[in-house]
A and B are shown apart, each in its own frame.
Chain A
Amino acid sequence: MDKTIFEKSQEGQHAFSLPKNSGAFGNFFPPSYLLRQTALNLPEISEIDLTRHYSQLAQINRGIDTNFYPLGSCTMKLNPRINEYCAQFPAFTRIHPLAPDETIQGNLQIIHELIDMLCQVSGMADGTLLPNAGAQGEFIGLQMIGAYHRSQGDYERSEMLIPDNAHGTNPASAAMAGFKCISIRTNAEGDLDIDHLRSLVSSRTAGLMLTNPNTLGLFSSVIQEIAQIIHEQGGFLYYDGANLNSILNIVKPGKMGFDVMHINLHKTFSTPHGGGGPGSGPVLCNECLKFFLPIPKVVKNSTSYTVQWQDKKSIGQIATFHGNFSVYLRAFLYMKLHGHYGLRKIAEVAVLNANYLKHHLAKLFKVPYPQLCMHEFVVQADKYLQQGVRALDIAKRLLDYGVYAPTIYFPLIIKECMLFEPTESESKATLDEFIQIMTKIVNEIELNPELVKSAPHNQVVKRLDEVKAAKFPILKH
Chain B
Amino acid sequence: MDFISNQTVQIKAMLAELGLQSVNDLFKQIPDNLKIAYPDTDDGLSEYEGLCLMEKLAAKNTFSHFENYMGAGAYEHHVPALVGAICSKSEFLTSYTPYQAEASQGMLQAIFEFQSMICALTGMDVANASVYDGASACAEAILMCLRLHKDKKKVLIAETLNPRYHAVIEQYLNAHEIEIILIPVNSVGKLEKAKFLSLMNDQVAAVLIQSPNYWGVMEECKEIFELAKEKQILSILCANPLAYGLFQSAAEQMADIAVGDCQPLGIALQFGGPYAGYIACKQDYVRQLPGRIVGETSDSEGKRGFILTLQAREQHIRREKATSNICTNQALSALASLVGTLWYGKNGIKALALTNFQRAAYLKNQLSDLDNVQVITTDTCFNEFVVQFKQPLEKVLNHFHHLAIQPGVILEKDYSSLKNCLLVAVTETKSQDQLDRYIQAVRTIG
Please, which residue of chain A has its CB at the minimum distance from the CB of B131?
A132
Residues 100 to 126 of chain B near chain A (Cβ within 8 Å): 100-107, 109-113, 115-117, 119-121, 123, 125-126
Within 8 A of B (CB), among A416-440: 424-428, 430
> Which candidate, A51-59, A284-292, A383-391, is the interface stretch facing chain B?
A51-59
Say whether B343 contacts A250, CB under 8 Å. no
**Which residue in chain A gives the minimum CB-CB distance to B72?**
A98
A475 pairs with B286, CB closer than 8 A: yes
Q: Are A58 and B89 in contact (CB under 8 A)?
A: yes
Chain A CB within 8 A of B201 CB: no
Q: Are B113 and A477 in contact (CB under 8 A)?
A: yes
Interface residue stretch chosen among B43-51, B149-157, B187-195: B43-51
Inside 8 A of A56's CB, which chain B residues have their CB?
Answer: 106
The listed residue with most B CB atoms (<10 A of its CB), out of A58, A61, A90, A336, is A61
Determine if B327 is an interface residue (Cβ-Cβ < 8 Å).
yes
Q: How long is the Cα–Cα vector from A5 to B321 in the complex, in angstroms?
A: 36
Contact A93 B270 (CB under 8 A): yes
Whether A64 sits at the interface, judged by CB under 8 Å, is yes
Q: Are A59 and B100 in contact (CB under 8 A)?
A: no
Q: Hey, which chain A residues are within 8 Å of B58, CB to CB?
A: 86, 89, 91-92, 106
Known: A40-B346, A425-B5. A337 touches B248 (CB 8 A): no
Judge whether B359 and A25 touch: CB under 8 Å. yes
B415: CB under 8 A from chain A?
A: no
Given contact pairs A45-B342, A169-B327, enumerate 13 new A-B contacts (beta carbons under 8 Å). Answer: A42-B120, A54-B110, A58-B92, A92-B61, A168-B314, A249-B36, A251-B34, A324-B273, A325-B271, A337-B45, A349-B4, A461-B101, A473-B286
Smallest CB gap from A371: residue in B: B29
Q: Please name all residues of chain A whose beta carbon is closer than 8 Å to the beta carbon of B232 when the two chains form the complex.
A: none
Contact of A104 among B80, B245, B271, B361 (CB under 8 A): B271
| Contact of A37 with B by CB under 8 A | yes
Report B1-37 CB contacts with A as 1/0, cut-off 8 Å: 1111110001101110110000100111111001110
> Across the interface, which residues of A come within 8 angstroms of B135, CB to CB?
317, 319-320
Residue of A42, A58, A405, A470 touching B100 (CB-CB under 8 A): A405
| CB within 8 Å for A95 and B104 given contacts A319-B135, A340-B43 | no
Inter-chain contact A89/B54, CB cutoff 8 Å:
yes
Question: For the complex, what is the distance from the CA of A121 to the CA of B344, rounded to whole Å?
Answer: 45
Once the chains are docked, how many angstroms separate the CA of A212 from the CA of B339? 40
Residues of A within 8 A of B176 (CB): 178
Residues of chain A with a CB closer than 8 A to B321's CB: 175
> Do the beta carbons of A133 and B64 come within 8 Å of each other?
no
Within 8 Å of chain B (Cβ to Cβ): is A345?
yes
- Taking a contact as CB atoms under 8 Å apart, the answer to whether B171 and A66 are in contact is no
- The smallest C-beta distance from A55 to any residue of chain B, in angstroms, reads 7
Roughly how many angstroms separate A54 CA and B335 CA in the complex, as a whole number?
A: 10
Chain A residues with Cβ below 8 Å from B91 are: 58-59, 61-63, 65-66
Is A134 interfacial (CB 8 A cutoff)?
A: yes
User: B residues 321-341 with Cβ under 8 Å of A?
Assistant: 321-322, 324-333, 335, 339, 341
Indicate with 1 or 0, residue by residue over B153-168, a CB within 8 angstroms of chain A CB atoms.
0000000001011011
B103 in complex: contacting residue of A35, A62, A143, A275, CB < 8 Å: A62
Whether the pair A219, B29 counts as a contact (CB closer than 8 A) is: yes
Contacting pair A138 B271 (CB below 8 A): no
Are A221 and B29 closer than 8 Å at their CB atoms? yes
Contact partner of A475 among B31, B47, B115, CB < 8 A? B115
Hey, which chain B residues are within 8 Å of A97, CB to CB? 74, 269, 271-273
Measured CB to CB, the nearest residue on chain A to B317 is A168
Mask, A442-477, CB within 8 Å of B = 1, is 000000000000101001111111101110011111
Task: Please measure, in the bound complex, the distance between the C-alpha atom of A176 and the C-alpha atom of B315, giving whole angstroms.
Answer: 11
B2-A346 in contact (CB<8A): yes
Instruction: Provide the bound-state CA to CA distance between A55 and B91, in Å.
Output: 10
- B379 to chain A: closest residue by CB: A31
CA distance A82 to B95 in the complex (A): 18
Say yes or no for B319: interface residue by CB 8 A criterion.
Answer: yes
Give the residue of B13, B112, B347 whose beta carbon is less than 8 angstroms from that of A428. Answer: B13
Task: Answer whether residue A361 sits at the interface, using C-beta atoms and an 8 A cutoff.
Answer: no
Residues of A within 8 A of B1 (CB): 337-338, 342
Residue of B nearest to A474 (CB): B296
A84 / chain B contacts, CB cutoff of 8 Å:
88, 93
CB closest residue in chain A, given B346: A42
Bound CA span A318–B131, Å = 13
Indicate if A293 sits at the interface (CB-CB under 8 A): no
User: A464's contact among B53, B298, B380, B431, by CB below 8 Å, is which?
Assistant: B298
Residues of A within 8 A of B186 (CB): none
Q: Which B residues are CB-close (under 8 A) to A24?
A: 362, 432
Q: Is A414 an interface residue (CB 8 A)?
A: no
Residues in A neighbouring B50, C-beta threshold 8 A: 82, 86, 333, 336-337
Q: Which residues of A contact B406 (CB under 8 A)?
A: 96, 99-100, 103
A44 and B346 contact, CB distance less than 8 A: yes
Query: Which residue of B has the minimal Cβ distance to A170?
Result: B319
B-side contacts of A138, CB under 8 Å: 325
Partner of A321, one of B59, B64, B74: B74
A351 within 8 A of B: yes
Task: Count A-side interface residues using an 8 Å CB cutoff.
Answer: 190
The residue of chain B having its C-beta at the shortest distance from the C-beta of A49 within the complex is B342
Q: Does A395 contact B (CB under 8 A)?
A: yes
Note all chain B residues with C-beta closer than 8 A to A136: 132, 136, 325-326
- With A47-B343, A275-B95: A428-B29 Cβ-Cβ less than 8 Å: no
Is the pair B309, A351 in contact by a Cβ cutoff of 8 Å? no
Within 8 Å of chain B (Cβ to Cβ): is A235? no
Once A16-B345, A57-B105, A275-B331 are accepted as A-B contacts, the answer to whether A341 and B44 lie under 8 Å apart by CB is yes
From A131, which residue of chain B is reached at the shortest CB distance? B132
A50 at the interface (CB under 8 A from B): yes
Residues of B within 8 A of A469 (CB): 295-297, 307, 309
Please provide the 5 A-B residue pairs with the shortest distance between their CB atoms, ordered closest to farther. Answer: A178-B175, A321-B272, A61-B106, A97-B272, A274-B332
Nearest CB of chain A from residue B96's CB, rounded to whole Å = 5
How far apart are the CA atoms of A247 and B117 in the complex, in Å? Answer: 43
Q: How far is the CA of A405 from the CA of B6 in the complex (A)?
A: 22
Q: How far is the CB of A417 from chain B (nearest CB, A)?
A: 13
Contact B362 A466 (CB under 8 A): no
Contact of A95 with B61 in the complex, beta carbons under 8 Å: yes
Contact B247 A132, beta carbon cutoff 8 Å: no
Chain A proximity of B388: nearest CB distance (Å): 19
Q: Which residues of B contact A100 (CB under 8 A)?
A: 63, 397, 401, 406
B62 part of interface (Cβ distance < 8 Å): yes
B61 touches A107 (CB 8 A): yes
Contact with B along A62-101 (1 / 0, CB 8 A): 1111110101001011111010111011111111111110
Q: Which of B29, B82, B88, B298 has the most CB of A within 10 A?
A: B29
Contact B343–A50 (Cβ < 8 Å): yes
Q: Is the CB of B349 within 8 A of A276?
A: no
With a cutoff of 8 Å between Cβ atoms, the chain A residues found around residue B276 in the complex are 278
Task: Look across to chain A and name the residue whose beta carbon is closest to the beta carbon of B312.
Answer: A470
On whether the beta carbons of B365 and A28 are closer than 8 Å, the reply is yes
Tell me, in angstroms, the Cα distance from A267 to B126 when the chains sit together: 31
Q: Which residues of A contact B97 (CB under 8 A)?
A: 273, 275-277
Kindly state whether residue A188 has any CB partner on chain B within 8 Å.
no
B2 in contact with A278 (CB, 8 Å): no
Is residue A372 within 8 Å, beta carbon to beta carbon, of the partner chain? yes
Shortest Cβ gap from A340 to chain B (Å): 4
- What is the CA–CA distance of A213 and B5 in the complex, to the nearest angstrom? 23
Q: CA A474 – CA B73 in complex, angstroms?
A: 32
- Collect the chain B residues with CB atoms within 8 Å of residue A249's CB: 36, 39
Contact between B268 and A93, CB atoms less than 8 A apart: yes
Which residues of chain A are near B129, meaning CB under 8 Å? 276
Nearest chain A CB to B416's CB is how many angstroms away?
14
Q: Is the CB–CB distance between B348 and A18 below 8 Å?
A: yes
Interface residues in B126-157 by Cβ distance below 8 A to A read 126-127, 129-130, 132-136
Closest approach, in angstroms, between the C-beta of A379 and any C-beta of chain B?
Answer: 17
Q: Bound state CA distance, A459 and B105, in angstroms?
A: 9
A250 engages B35 (CB within 8 Å) = yes
Q: Is A177 an interface residue (CB 8 A)?
A: yes
Chain A residues near B46: list those with CB within 8 A. Answer: 337
